Chain A
Amino acid sequence: MIKNKKDPKIIIGSSFKFGDDISTDLIAPGRLFHLRSNLPELAKHVLEDADPGFAKKVKPGDFVVGGRNFGLGSSREHAPLVMKIAGVGAVLAKSFARIFFRNSINVGLPVLICDTDKIDSRDILEIDLKKGIINNKTKNLKLKFNPLPEVMIKILNDGGLTSHITRNKGFNL
């Protein structure tokens, strides 16, 4: 990931565009159920059934860009986890399925809701996580994304849910 040296909340990468309804079966398929105990290996197959070459092409810090209802389906947290392990810097979509969204926050993968019609594959994006701005450098246009709910910001700032619980000896939301 290319981080802006002045501000670590700014991340830069290239986009990989996917369509609507990208299910957790496409991200971490059931036929690889046995690899859930070996996440680095499972990560080599991330999104394979949506784009067979994705795991080889993705570079650390790149972005997965979906359409509507990204991450629908199973509760498997392995889906956002293997995206993170594969180096995905953030997922951008018009909307997310509920469990996937919550899981992503818990594992520390930024999930951003924005108008992804304005992003094509291989566009270079510079994202300011703090200000909520996506700068599409290829198209020279700026997009806004909605800030996270406060409770999720608290969990993210503590470094994910397990750190939140350990640090506060329980919930402190």
Chain B
Amino acid sequence: MYKTISEKIISKHAGRELKAGDIAVVDVDVVMSQDGTGPLAVSQIKKMGFNKVKNPSKSIFFIDHAAPSPRSELSNSHIVLREFASQTGAVVSDVGEGVCHQILVESYTCPGDIVIGGDSHTCTSGALGAFATGMGSTDIAVGYALAKTWLMVPQTIRVNFNRRINKGVFAKDLIIYLIGKITSDGATYKALEFGGEVGNRLSMDDRFTISNMTVEAGAKTGIFPSDDITKEYLKSQRRQDCFKEISADKGAKYEKIIDIDCSVIEPMVSLPHTVDNALPVSSLEKIMVNQVFIGTCTNGRFSDLKIAADILKDKKVASGVRLIVVPASKDIYLEALKEGVLETLINSGAVVQSPGCGPCVGVHQGILGDGEVCLSTQNRNFKGRMGNPSSFIYLSSPATAALSAVKGYIADPREVLG
């Protein structure tokens, strides 16, 4: 039987041949949760009577959503996670280490793994050729305790990014374009599997951005095959040992194949309040912004900060605009520091905050005021997402965000990159 990547990985972890639609209990390689979902997972583990986790070194609790903590209630939740981890040998990735999904790809996820996470953007790890999916605290609690979960093998939609990508257009624009096309539930219960001549050449940072946002189309996971680019990335993380090549069989059965001509894609924006409300920047009227946020598990990587700094060099953030920058991890923070990227950003008027989720989740570090507009490089723009249901969130690439910070309104980065 010819298999998709999801069918291959899930079959291997179930110990039997499976195809789309089959249901199986599978072994999981990495289990994680974060400070919003971890405390409930811990109480569910205890409720089931477990006092251990099955695989401590791959059971991780990330403190990233409210880090450093802005409130005592959250500080107390952090204590719950630290105490449980110290009792069980599970790992805590504490304040300042970075966003869970970034730390997973830097240090934990290997090609061919099954990764389950108490966070919807766990699909980010799919960029490394893993089957990675988000679940709620109870499923994650079972995952911690047993290193197992149940899965239905998803149907796969193959997405080929073809032809070429224009200057000023980035992975973020490709994925916003795709979600606009297939809508916010266009891939519900399905795996998205990526390829095509553009797709196959994308850097790991670009693949992370794309896989990260697949859940915004409802997808269970978003997978890239692992290849030389994956291998080089793992080598740069001193994890080349865990590389294995994984790709779909020729003749694998797809529910649907979507071919995208990238040469027609312009810089894109998602308008409030859904990600699939997607339009090219060039079609927008002048939309003034109060805050620009560059960061998150979607676009807080070094290449994202670098392109922003290239655009902001010797320029100033427009008066009345706040530019907030949050590197996705400590390693990215240090690299950006060493390369002078942070200095450029700070000199332009940016506020650089500690690695983590930043203001994306509406908990801290940049909550919007009533009627305010934010252009963000994050992955979702639901009403209330950034802490205020009376505010408006637009989504874009870091390049669009950086130029918009200078102009004071949402601007087309081809003006400076074309």
**Chain A residues at the B interface, C-beta cutoff of 8 Å:** 21, 23, 25-26, 29-31, 33-38, 49, 68-69, 72-78, 95, 97-99, 102-103, 106-107, 149, 151, 160-162, 165-166, 170-171, 173
Please determine whether B141 and A162 come into contact, CB atoms closer than 8 angstroms: yes
Please determine whether B362 and A21 come into contact, CB atoms closer than 8 angstroms: no
Q: B36, B118, B184, B384: which contacts A21 (Cβ < 8 A)?
A: B184
**Chain B residues at the A interface, C-beta cutoff of 8 Å:** 23, 25, 36-37, 39-40, 44, 47-49, 65-66, 71, 73-74, 76-77, 117-120, 122, 134-139, 141-142, 145-146, 148, 150, 152, 184-185, 188-189, 218, 220, 274, 361-363, 367, 380, 382-389
A160 to B193, alpha carbons, bound, how many Å?
A: 32
CB-CB under 8 A from A69, the residues of chain B are 184-185, 188, 218
Contacts known (A77-B137, A99-B134); A33 close to B380, Cβ less than 8 A: no
Please determine whether A97 and B383 come into contact, CB atoms closer than 8 angstroms: no
Contacts known (A23-B382, A69-B218, A162-B47); A151 close to B23, Cβ less than 8 A: yes
Please determine whether B220 and A98 come into contact, CB atoms closer than 8 angstroms: yes
A21 to B184, alpha carbons, bound, how many Å?
A: 8
Please determine whether B383 and A161 come into contact, CB atoms closer than 8 angstroms: no
A170 to B49, alpha carbons, bound, how many Å?
A: 12
CB-CB under 8 A from A103, the residues of chain B are 135-136, 138-139
Please determine whether B37 and A31 come into contact, CB atoms closer than 8 angstroms: no
19 additional contacts (CB under 8 A) given A23-B382, A162-B44: A23-B380, A26-B382, A30-B361, A30-B362, A33-B66, A33-B363, A34-B66, A37-B76, A73-B120, A75-B122, A75-B134, A76-B36, A76-B136, A99-B120, A102-B136, A103-B136, A107-B138, A162-B141, A170-B146
**Which are the 5 A-B pairs with shortest beta-carbon distances?**
A30-B362, A77-B136, A103-B136, A34-B73, A69-B185
CB-CB under 8 A from B136, the residues of chain A are 75-77, 99, 102-103, 106
Contacts known (A29-B362, A29-B389); A34 close to B48, Cβ less than 8 A: no
CB-CB under 8 A from A73, the residues of chain B are 120, 380, 382
Please determine whether B77 and A36 come into contact, CB atoms closer than 8 angstroms: yes
CB-CB under 8 A from A98, the residues of chain B are 188-189, 218, 220
Contacts known (A69-B184, A72-B185); A26 close to B384, Cβ less than 8 A: yes
Contacts known (A33-B36, A173-B150); A95 close to B142, Cβ less than 8 A: no
CB-CB under 8 A from B363, the residues of chain A are 30-31, 33-34
Please determine whether B36 and A36 come into contact, CB atoms closer than 8 angstroms: yes
Please determine whether B138 and A160 come into contact, CB atoms closer than 8 angstroms: yes
Please determine whether B184 and A72 come into contact, CB atoms closer than 8 angstroms: yes
A155 to B300, alpha carbons, bound, how many Å?
A: 39
Please determine whether B139 and A102 come into contact, CB atoms closer than 8 angstroms: yes
Taking the nearest CB of chain B, how far is it from the CB of A152, in angstroms?
10
CB-CB under 8 A from B361, the residues of chain A are 30, 33
Please determine whether A33 and B138 come into contact, CB atoms closer than 8 angstroms: no
CB-CB under 8 A from B37, the residues of chain A are 75-77
Please determine whether A171 and B148 come into contact, CB atoms closer than 8 angstroms: yes
CB-CB under 8 A from A165, the residues of chain B are 48, 142, 145-146
A36 to B383, alpha carbons, bound, how many Å?
A: 19
A103 to B44, alpha carbons, bound, how many Å?
A: 13
| 11 A-B pairs in the complex with CB atoms less than 8 angstroms apart | A33-B65, A33-B66, A36-B39, A49-B384, A75-B117, A76-B37, A103-B135, A103-B138, A106-B139, A149-B23, A161-B138
Please determine whether A31 and B387 come into contact, CB atoms closer than 8 angstroms: yes
B23 — nearest CB in chain A belongs to which residue?
A151
Please determine whether B36 and A162 come into contact, CB atoms closer than 8 angstroms: no
A29 to B47, alpha carbons, bound, how many Å?
A: 26
B146 — nearest CB in chain A belongs to which residue?
A170
A21 to B40, alpha carbons, bound, how many Å?
A: 25
A21 to B119, alpha carbons, bound, how many Å?
A: 19
Contacts known (A97-B218, A170-B148); A74 close to B120, Cβ less than 8 A: yes
Please determine whether B274 and A21 come into contact, CB atoms closer than 8 angstroms: yes
Please determine whether B135 and A68 come into contact, CB atoms closer than 8 angstroms: no
A170 to B27, alpha carbons, bound, how many Å?
A: 12
Contacts known (A160-B138, A166-B48); A29 close to B384, Cβ less than 8 A: yes
Please determine whether A68 and B185 come into contact, CB atoms closer than 8 angstroms: yes
Q: A49, A151, A160, A173: which contacts B389 (Cβ < 8 A)?
A: A49
Please determine whether A36 and B138 come into contact, CB atoms closer than 8 angstroms: no
A30 to B44, alpha carbons, bound, how many Å?
A: 22
